[in-house]
Amino acid sequence: MTSDKKVVLLTGASTGMGFEMMTRLAEEGYRLCVLSRSPELLCSDLLGGRWQDRIDVFGVDLKERKSVDKAVGEIWELYGRIDIVINNAGYGLVATLEEVEEAEMLEQFDINLFGLVRVTRAVLPAMRRRRSGVIINISSFLGRVGLPLLSFYNASKYAVEGITDSLRLELAPFGIRVHSVMPGFFSTQFARSNLQINAGIESEDSPYRSLSRRLAPKVLRQINEGDDPRLVAEAILKILKDPDAPVRIPVGEMASRFLTMRRELSDKEYERRVMEFYGIEPE
């Protein structure tokens, strides 16, 4: 079966921003092919939904190349095309560099960065042959600025920004656009279902216990009181509809505030502002 609608491959659509992206794009007439590690849960959310006839869900383990390749192959067999890739799957690891477990830091990169790479690699040969396509990586404002306790989440998103910049140049001769969207803090289920907290920093014996007690509640409150996730979906539509859209689009109040400070202030002054904002003080 071929499709006369543009086909979007989307990862990480089960909750929050991803779910908003999926339903908003379906509303606009796109055909959504969603890669999910829990397809049964996502399908149950879609039952009886208005756009269920425009959304297909494929069970995928983003940590396994064979699993990703199999799903991408099934999409090509169904629709004969993949026009757009939105790499949204990811989670946040709350840990200090000193206390993180080896398995935790490897898992953070395996999902946030290497999962994105596996999906993109799987679709590129056919996109190159067609000499068209759009790849949108959902990054974060934390891909350009650092926060304590989020070292590895920061590092994975910095890497996504680096991949975006290099890949954009690699694929320009083939007519393929590459962009990133950099959300701030949004009112989604991220704080409840997409944050993993290292056991070490919660221990009473942790040398970082005081820092985590001050910082973590503020960050969680900012997430829970954050912007409407539909703004991210609108940023994606801007990229899809405008061939001259910016390479990266910050979205939300926190992204705008922190990225502006990082761009305009010296390193020393920027760090002073962040420490003041979050109440970070010497022990």
Distance CA 178, CA 134 (A): 6
Q: Which residues of 241-263 are buried (b: 16+ CB within 10 A; e: fewer)?
A: eeeebeebbbbbebbeebbeebe
Q: Which of 36, 79, 139, 151 is catalytic?
A: 139
CA dihedral angle for residue 9, residue 233, residue 256, residue 152, rounded to 10 degrees: -40
* Partner residues linked to 56 by β-bridges: 33
Q: What is the pLDDT at residue 281?
A: 74
Query: Is residue 133 one of the residues assigned to a domain?
Result: yes
Would you call 79 a catalytic residue per the annotation?
no
Could you tell me the pLDDT band of residue 14, with boundaries at 50, 70 and 90? confident
Would you call 140 a catalytic residue per the annotation?
no
Q: What percentage of the chain has pLDDT greater than the value 90?
A: 65
Q: What is the pLDDT at residue 191?
A: 47
Could you tell me the pLDDT band of residue 5, with boundaries at 50, 70 and 90? confident
Q: Which of 36, 79, 157, 206 is catalytic?
A: 157
Containing domain of residue 121, as a range? 7-278
pLDDT 10s digits, 242-251: 999 999 999 9
Q: For the chain, what is the domain count?
A: 1
CATH number at residue 84: 3.40.50.720
Query: Is residue 283 one of the residues assigned to a domain?
Result: no
Query: Is residue 97 one of the residues assigned to a domain?
Result: yes
CA 10 and chain centroid, separation? 11
Residue ranges of E strands in the chain: 7-11, 31-36, 55-59, 84-87, 92-94, 133-138, 176-183, 195-197, 248-251
Query: Is residue 2 one of the residues assigned to a domain?
Result: no
The mean-pLDDT minimum among 84-93, 128-137, 180-189, 231-240 falls in 180-189
Phi, psi dihedral angles at 182 (to 5 degrees): -120, 85
Q: What is the pLDDT at residue 224?
A: 66
Q: Which of 79, 153, 158, 208 is catalytic?
A: 153
* Partner residues linked to 130 by β-bridges: none
What is the value of pTM for the model shown? 0.92
Q: Which of 14, 140, 180, 212 is catalytic?
A: 14
Query: Is residue 38 one of the residues assigned to a domain?
Result: yes
Query: Is residue 1 one of the residues assigned to a domain?
Result: no
Q: Which residue has the higher pLDDT, 199 or 15?
A: 199
Q: What is the pLDDT at residue 186?
A: 73
Would you call 157 a catalytic residue per the annotation?
yes
Q: What is the pLDDT at residue 169?
A: 98
Asked if residue 10 has pLDDT above 60, the reply is yes
User: What integer is the mean pLDDT of 79-103?
Assistant: 94
Identify which of 83, 13, 80, 106 has the alpha carbon closest to the alpha carbon of residue 51.
13
Q: Which residue has the higher pLDDT, 197 or 93?
A: 93
Would you call 238 a catalytic residue per the annotation?
no
